[in-house]
Homo-oligomer: A and B are copies of this chain.
Amino acid sequence: MIENKLSILDEIRTIVGAKYLITKPDLLYKYSKDCTSNKVTIPSAVVLPKNTQEISKIIAICNETKTAITVRGGGTGVSGGALSVNSGIILSLERLNKIIEINKVDRIAIVESGVITKDLKDAVLKDGLNFPQNISSADSCFIGGNVAVSSGSPKSLKYGTTKNYVVNLEVVLPDGRIIWTGKNVSKNATGYNLTQLFSGSEGTLGVITKVVLKLVPPMKELVLMVPFTKIDNLFICVQQFFAKGYSASSIEFIDGVGFKLVSQYLDNSYHIKSTTEGILWIEIEGDYSDKLLDEALKISRHINAYTEEEIHVADNPSEVKALWKMRSKVGEAVINHTFFRDVDIVVPCSKIDEMYKAIVIIANKFNFNYTVFGHVGDGNFHVNIFQNKEQTIEQWEVNIVVWVKEIFLKALELGGTISGEHGIGKINLPYIAEAIPTAQIIMDKIKKTFDKNQIINP
């Protein structure tokens, strides 16, 4: 029996080697935060195992000694999921960065969970295949983290979130056993769907060590960028787009505040009026350029019923990227502007207009500044509430709980949910009981079924 934290660390050091157990305060700082603004928690140690077997041994020791451990991917989360609990131990997956196999016949990639998402995308593209999520933090996030929170992206409208592309997972269970949740096949009706139970579980049921992902052939893209003088019309335009039977790979938007922030941040060269209340992006995909243009023409006619502003169109890769820039940089523009809290909600698309109106009313009632942008085709809004500089941090922390709760309650009232793609993490935990009252009882039971001693990401 191991007696105390020091001897636990000695055990772990024996497993990974002294070089890969970090305990020096100056080196620990890097692991003290993720992209959740304001949150800093210095862990007592960070362990960097090189493979599944090492992780299995580490987790077994933690289980035996009831030591909490927090799994960390790329540290790009915005819900505080990668932060240590009570200055505990962090297990970083950064050395599990091997792409094991890309199979063109089976259209799968088998990778370790610490592979950076962009590296995966680049590698499969060389084989004429695509991992069709364009996650905004792809340059630094880990594929294992994407799976753990089932990350979404603008492409989720067509392709769903990451979980839809997860075929199989290697997982270290909280008692140290190593399992595969499924098989590397596209259809499997053998027993419960453990693969999907682990996808989106935020690492609370085990440590994801290998991921088998489904791949698809890449497609040609065409993007329309459309300013709206009246933002209400933007929402109706999107709802009617679906009602009329159109389809798209992405439908995204930013509101007027987001537009102004990102214009200043980027020195925007598109001639969009400063009175614009919202900008809509519609991206369509296909195998044939001529048909994409035909489709764009039909969609433009539909859009013209809701706005008189000029529609910008791009259909070659560099122009497509340029036209997306305002949307893709709005998050950075907000970070550059002020401290904020991201509130990630989803409502049915038929309720996006009502949800937006409710946000405006709530903001007026509490007098906070904010911008709303996001994946409007999926009904997924990011409400970024700006920190009021006249308030102390303490006041802000008290107020934000009230404001977020009001937004969450409205989303729930409209049949929506309180996290579309960022997960619950720690910062949304106080709200989950209200979001999923009965379901929570079951989730607690499932967590205990897997992790009796509550050691992994507690």
Contact = CB atoms under 8 A, between A and B. Distances in A.
A231 to B, nearest CB: 18
A288 B291 CA distance: 8
Contacts of A440: 191
Interface in A320-379: 344, 346-350, 375, 378-379
Interface string A112-133: 0000000000000000100000
A76 interface: no
A191 B424 contact: yes
Interface stretch (A83-91, A267-275, A388-396, A431-439): A431-439
Contacts of A107: 242, 349
A194 interface: yes
A382 to B, nearest CB: 12
Interface string A178-202: 0111111111111111101101110
B418 A190 contact: yes
Nearest to A103: B350
A283 to B, nearest CB: 16
A282 B423 CA distance: 40
Contact of A106 (B184, B245, B350): B350
Interface in A408-447: 415-424, 432, 435-436, 438-440, 442-443, 445-446
A317 interface: no
Contacts of A191: 424, 432, 435-436, 439-440, 443
Interface stretch (A5-13, A58-66, A159-167): A159-167
Most buried by B among A182, A190, A346, A416: A190
A312 interface: no
Interface string A90-108: 0000000000000111111
Contact of A421 (B189, B199, B446): B189
Given A446-B446, A446-B449, A156 B194 contact: no
A243 interface: yes
Contacts of A108: 348
A152 interface: yes
Contact of A349 (B106, B243, B247): B106
B197 A163 contact: no
